[in-house]
Structure 1
Protein backbone atom coordinates (compact mmCIF):
# COMPACT_ATOMS: atom_id res chain seq x y z
CA UNK A 1 0.00 0.00 0.00
CA UNK A 2 1.31 3.45 -0.88
CA UNK A 3 1.17 5.66 2.21
CA UNK A 4 2.13 8.96 0.56
CA UNK A 5 -1.53 9.96 0.50
CA UNK A 6 -2.11 9.71 4.23
CA UNK A 7 -5.79 10.55 4.03
CA UNK A 8 -6.21 7.16 2.28
CA UNK A 9 -8.66 8.62 -0.20
CA UNK A 10 -8.06 6.99 -3.59
CA UNK A 11 -9.48 10.07 -5.34
CA UNK A 12 -7.07 12.48 -3.64
CA UNK A 13 -5.17 14.71 -6.06
CA UNK A 14 -3.27 16.51 -3.29
CA UNK A 15 -0.87 13.63 -2.52
CA UNK A 16 -0.69 14.87 1.05
CA UNK A 17 2.36 13.82 3.00
CA UNK A 18 1.14 15.19 6.31
CA UNK A 19 -0.85 13.36 8.98
CA UNK A 20 -3.99 13.73 6.86
CA UNK A 21 -5.17 15.69 3.87
CA UNK A 22 -7.50 18.48 5.13
CA UNK A 23 -9.27 18.79 1.78
CA UNK A 24 -10.14 15.09 1.63
CA UNK A 25 -10.97 14.97 5.34
CA UNK A 26 -13.56 17.70 4.74
CA UNK A 27 -15.08 15.48 2.03
CA UNK A 28 -15.33 12.48 4.35
CA UNK A 29 -11.77 11.14 4.13
CA UNK A 30 -10.37 9.13 7.02
CA UNK A 31 -7.81 10.46 9.45
CA UNK A 32 -5.30 7.66 10.07
CA UNK A 33 -5.21 6.07 13.49
CA UNK A 34 -2.11 6.94 15.50
CA UNK A 35 -1.04 4.32 18.02
CA UNK A 36 0.63 6.19 20.88
CA UNK A 37 2.40 3.06 22.11
CA UNK A 38 3.95 2.50 18.67
CA UNK A 39 5.00 6.15 18.57
CA UNK A 40 6.73 5.74 21.93
CA UNK A 41 8.24 2.31 21.32
CA UNK A 42 9.80 3.16 17.96
CA UNK A 43 11.53 6.40 18.87
CA UNK A 44 14.91 7.15 20.40
CA UNK A 45 14.89 7.59 24.17
CA UNK A 46 17.87 9.58 25.34
CA UNK A 47 19.05 8.50 28.81
CA UNK A 48 17.84 10.55 31.74
CA UNK A 49 19.73 11.17 34.94
CA UNK A 50 20.37 7.94 36.85
CA UNK A 51 19.26 5.63 34.05
CA UNK A 52 22.69 4.63 32.65
CA UNK A 53 23.72 3.32 36.07
CA UNK A 54 20.53 1.25 36.31
CA UNK A 55 21.05 -0.10 32.79
CA UNK A 56 24.54 -1.18 33.79
CA UNK A 57 23.30 -2.85 36.99
CA UNK A 58 20.81 -4.89 34.97
CA UNK A 59 23.52 -5.80 32.43
CA UNK A 60 25.93 -6.84 35.20
CA UNK A 61 23.39 -9.09 36.95
CA UNK A 62 22.31 -10.58 33.62
CA UNK A 63 25.92 -11.39 32.77
CA UNK A 64 26.39 -12.97 36.21
CA UNK A 65 23.41 -15.25 35.59
CA UNK A 66 24.65 -16.11 32.08
CA UNK A 67 28.02 -17.18 33.53
CA UNK A 68 26.25 -19.25 36.20
CA UNK A 69 24.20 -21.08 33.60
CA UNK A 70 27.15 -21.46 31.24
CA UNK A 71 29.28 -23.04 33.98
CA UNK A 72 26.62 -25.37 35.35
CA UNK A 73 24.66 -26.59 32.38
CA UNK A 74 25.73 -28.97 29.63
CA UNK A 75 26.11 -27.53 26.16
CA UNK A 76 22.71 -27.92 24.57
CA UNK A 77 19.94 -26.17 22.76
CA UNK A 78 18.28 -25.56 26.13
CA UNK A 79 21.39 -23.85 27.50
CA UNK A 80 21.58 -21.64 24.41
CA UNK A 81 17.92 -20.72 24.80
CA UNK A 82 18.41 -19.93 28.49
CA UNK A 83 21.23 -17.52 27.66
CA UNK A 84 19.25 -15.99 24.79
CA UNK A 85 16.35 -15.41 27.15
CA UNK A 86 18.62 -13.73 29.68
CA UNK A 87 19.71 -11.37 26.90
CA UNK A 88 16.07 -10.70 26.02
CA UNK A 89 15.14 -10.10 29.65
CA UNK A 90 18.03 -7.65 30.00
CA UNK A 91 17.01 -5.75 26.89
CA UNK A 92 13.33 -5.62 27.83
CA UNK A 93 14.15 -4.50 31.37
CA UNK A 94 16.29 -1.66 30.03
CA UNK A 95 13.60 -0.79 27.46
CA UNK A 96 11.11 -0.62 30.32
CA UNK A 97 13.20 2.08 31.97
CA UNK A 98 13.87 3.97 28.71
CA UNK A 99 10.31 3.92 27.42
CA UNK A 100 8.39 4.59 30.60
CA UNK A 101 10.28 7.22 32.53
Structure 2
Protein backbone atom coordinates (compact mmCIF):
# COMPACT_ATOMS: atom_id res chain seq x y z
CA UNK A 1 0.00 0.00 0.00
CA UNK A 2 1.39 3.40 -1.02
CA UNK A 3 1.30 6.11 1.65
CA UNK A 4 0.66 9.65 0.41
CA UNK A 5 3.24 12.05 1.81
CA UNK A 6 2.13 15.46 3.09
CA UNK A 7 3.66 18.88 2.44
CA UNK A 8 5.54 20.53 5.30
CA UNK A 9 4.15 23.94 4.29
CA UNK A 10 0.77 22.89 5.71
CA UNK A 11 2.11 23.13 9.27
CA UNK A 12 4.39 26.18 9.13
CA UNK A 13 1.84 28.72 10.42
CA UNK A 14 1.07 26.96 13.71
CA UNK A 15 1.92 28.36 17.14
CA UNK A 16 4.45 26.60 19.35
CA UNK A 17 1.63 25.01 21.36
CA UNK A 18 -0.13 23.82 18.20
CA UNK A 19 3.15 22.43 16.84
CA UNK A 20 3.76 20.53 20.06
CA UNK A 21 0.32 18.92 19.86
CA UNK A 22 0.80 18.27 16.13
CA UNK A 23 4.13 16.45 16.56
CA UNK A 24 2.67 14.37 19.40
CA UNK A 25 0.36 12.85 16.75
CA UNK A 26 2.63 12.80 13.66
CA UNK A 27 6.04 11.55 12.57
CA UNK A 28 8.51 13.39 10.30
CA UNK A 29 8.50 10.46 7.89
CA UNK A 30 4.94 11.41 6.87
CA UNK A 31 6.25 14.48 5.01
CA UNK A 32 7.92 14.98 1.64
CA UNK A 33 11.59 15.78 1.69
CA UNK A 34 12.15 14.46 5.18
CA UNK A 35 15.61 13.21 5.90
CA UNK A 36 17.40 12.40 9.09
CA UNK A 37 20.02 14.88 10.20
CA UNK A 38 22.73 15.18 12.80
CA UNK A 39 23.06 18.15 15.10
CA UNK A 40 26.15 18.89 17.10
CA UNK A 41 25.53 21.53 19.73
CA UNK A 42 28.68 23.09 21.07
CA UNK A 43 28.71 25.09 24.23
CA UNK A 44 30.68 28.30 24.00
CA UNK A 45 33.68 28.28 26.33
CA UNK A 46 33.27 30.29 29.48
CA UNK A 47 35.58 33.21 30.20
CA UNK A 48 37.43 33.31 33.50
CA UNK A 49 37.44 36.60 35.39
CA UNK A 50 39.02 37.43 38.72
CA UNK A 51 37.45 39.73 41.29
CA UNK A 52 38.92 41.47 44.28
CA UNK A 53 36.32 41.50 47.03
CA UNK A 54 36.30 42.80 50.56
CA UNK A 55 36.71 40.05 53.16
CA UNK A 56 33.28 40.88 54.58
CA UNK A 57 31.70 40.30 51.14
CA UNK A 58 33.48 36.96 50.82
CA UNK A 59 32.16 35.94 54.27
CA UNK A 60 28.62 36.78 53.15
CA UNK A 61 29.08 34.78 49.95
CA UNK A 62 30.52 31.83 51.88
CA UNK A 63 27.70 31.97 54.44
CA UNK A 64 25.06 31.98 51.67
CA UNK A 65 26.92 29.22 49.83
CA UNK A 66 26.88 27.04 52.93
CA UNK A 67 23.22 27.86 53.68
CA UNK A 68 22.03 26.97 50.18
CA UNK A 69 24.49 24.16 49.49
CA UNK A 70 25.56 25.88 46.27
CA UNK A 71 29.25 26.09 45.38
CA UNK A 72 30.68 29.60 45.89
CA UNK A 73 31.53 30.12 42.21
CA UNK A 74 28.13 28.84 41.06
CA UNK A 75 26.38 31.11 43.55
CA UNK A 76 28.24 34.24 42.43
CA UNK A 77 27.73 33.27 38.77
CA UNK A 78 23.96 32.90 39.37
CA UNK A 79 23.83 36.32 41.06
CA UNK A 80 25.68 37.94 38.16
CA UNK A 81 23.42 36.23 35.60
CA UNK A 82 20.33 37.36 37.55
CA UNK A 83 21.55 40.97 37.55
CA UNK A 84 22.42 40.84 33.84
CA UNK A 85 18.98 39.38 33.12
CA UNK A 86 17.35 42.24 34.99
CA UNK A 87 19.43 44.81 33.10
CA UNK A 88 18.56 43.13 29.81
CA UNK A 89 14.83 43.29 30.66
CA UNK A 90 15.11 46.98 31.55
CA UNK A 91 16.85 47.69 28.24
CA UNK A 92 13.90 46.22 26.32
CA UNK A 93 11.28 48.48 27.94
TM-score by length of 2: 0.32
Q: Indicate the structure (1 or 2) with the bigger Cα radius of gyration.
A: 2
TM-score by length of 1: 0.30
